[in-house]
Copies of this chain bind each other. A is one copy, B any other.
């Protein structure tokens, strides 16, 4: 058989790569749970019809679909939001508000390119059954908490509200049927700039000359000015609603001591997906420039696609791959290349039982310890420890064994000392702390 391959756009994660990923996932899990979110897991395979018609024309093409052996059309999970909606529809007895998190891979048959993969992890939190903007605010408090805990310093959570954008469109005389197209144009602002967006809106016939001026001044120019908008929209009910919700979000952020530099109310934020109905948000890392690392918003009508009931919902998603990229580029995370602290070397078979007992004692103290099993020269075993970046090596020779001693070698300093076994435990524990 020829050398095996891994499918394009898919990746193996060897232990060193896994360390960063696991640290991010553990940090998120812990923070999500302190806010009362609970884990949910859904299958990787869904019926195709559950996913079809939910992700727009472009998204639809990227769904991995196939027929199973029974001829049923199935598909690999494309995101975590639609499966959640299906769960809510099927399990009507779930107590609401239902706050769940899910950290899991999704699949998209996208063209593989730098930073874009066909299998990647999403980390989602959603609150189902609460229409309060405090719920939206909480998602942003969590976003801030996760990123700060991971060591991120240069990021801004951009916040807007589809209701405010709708009121603005109303004010600008944009027809209701054109609002979705208006938002899709606006969504390109960061990529193509204000003039290009304005041209496209005009070319598509979305704007009259008078409304062009209004939209340019209030939204497009320099990313727009939220205060101006707030004044402009006074008295339009949907705008008032939206502004009140944004005030509740601000209150939530202030109550949690989130510094102002980490968030901005930004009228030019549109978000691509059609299904948002209220507050929308995304987080942009400013250094390194990598685009958005979280995104989400309120989607009060999506779950209704499956069930006749309208169930309010809001959620946000962290992109694990981009978080990893930022952390690697910033080197903000000095993750140890291995979790293993100690290698117990092999001397000869007669001393193996002694080696194993020493290893057991270390493990009983929660010290990650590996035993070398093969009869090879000590030099080669030390090279193995160095290769693996295991910091400490324990050697038990016949003399040591007789006296209840062990030799402890510090691979980083190249020093070693022979000490009694109980001291070994203390020394290794102190070493872990420092």
Contact call B95/A36, Cβ cutoff below 8 A: no
Query: In the assembly, what is the distance between CA of A305 and CA of B72, in Å?
Result: 34
Contact call A369/B36, Cβ cutoff below 8 A: yes
Contact of A367 among B19, B34, B68, B340 (CB under 8 A): B34
A339 adjacent to chain B (CB < 8 Å): yes
Contact call A134/B43, Cβ cutoff below 8 A: no
Known: A21-B41, A34-B369. 7 other contacts (CB 8 A): A4-B90, A13-B41, A15-B40, A18-B40, A35-B363, A44-B119, A254-B353
A161 CB to closest chain B CB (Å) equals: 17
Q: A3-B90, A47-B5, A255-B357 are in contact. Are A340 and B36 (CB under 8 A)?
A: yes
Query: In the assembly, what is the distance between CA of A306 and CA of B36, in Å?
Result: 47
A397 adjacent to chain B (CB < 8 Å): no
Q: Which residues in window 118-142 of A have CB below 8 A to B?
A: 118-119, 130-132, 134-135, 138
A1-39 CB contact bits vs B (8 Å, 1 = yes)? Answer: 101111100111111001101100000001001111011
Pick out which of these stretches binds chain B: A97-105, A165-173, A218-226, A409-417.
A97-105
Question: Which residues from chain B contact A360 at a C-beta distance below 8 Å?
Answer: 255-257
The complex is assembled from copies of this chain, and their number is 2
Question: Which residues from chain B contact A369 at a C-beta distance below 8 Å?
Answer: 34-36
A87 adjacent to chain B (CB < 8 Å): yes
Contact of A356 among B6, B76, B118, B256 (CB under 8 A): B256
Binding site for B on A (CB under 8 A): 1, 3-7, 10-15, 18-19, 21-22, 30, 33-36, 38-47, 49-50, 64, 66-69, 72, 74, 76, 86-87, 89-91, 94-95, 97, 99-100, 105, 107, 109, 118-119, 130-132, 134-135, 138, 248, 251-252, 254-257, 305-307, 338-340, 343, 352-353, 356-357, 360, 363, 366-374, 384, 387-388
Question: Which residues from chain B contact A95 at a C-beta distance below 8 Å?
Answer: 384, 387-388
Q: A1-B305, A44-B44 are in contact. Are A91 and B134 (CB under 8 A)?
A: no
Question: Which residues from chain B contact A11 at a C-beta distance below 8 Å?
Answer: 43
The chain B residue with its CB closest to the CB of A255 is B356
Question: Which residues from chain B contact A22 at a C-beta distance below 8 Å?
Answer: 39
Contact call B4/A50, Cβ cutoff below 8 A: yes
Query: In the assembly, what is the distance between CA of A21 and CA of B100, in Å?
Result: 16
Query: In the assembly, what is the distance between CA of A196 and CA of B338, in Å?
Result: 51
Question: Which residues from chain B contact A119 at a C-beta distance below 8 Å?
Answer: 43-45
Contact call A252/B356, Cβ cutoff below 8 A: yes
Question: Which residues from chain B contact A87 at a C-beta distance below 8 Å?
Answer: 12, 14
Contact call B373/A38, Cβ cutoff below 8 A: no
Query: In the assembly, what is the distance between CA of A302 and CA of B355, in Å?
Result: 30
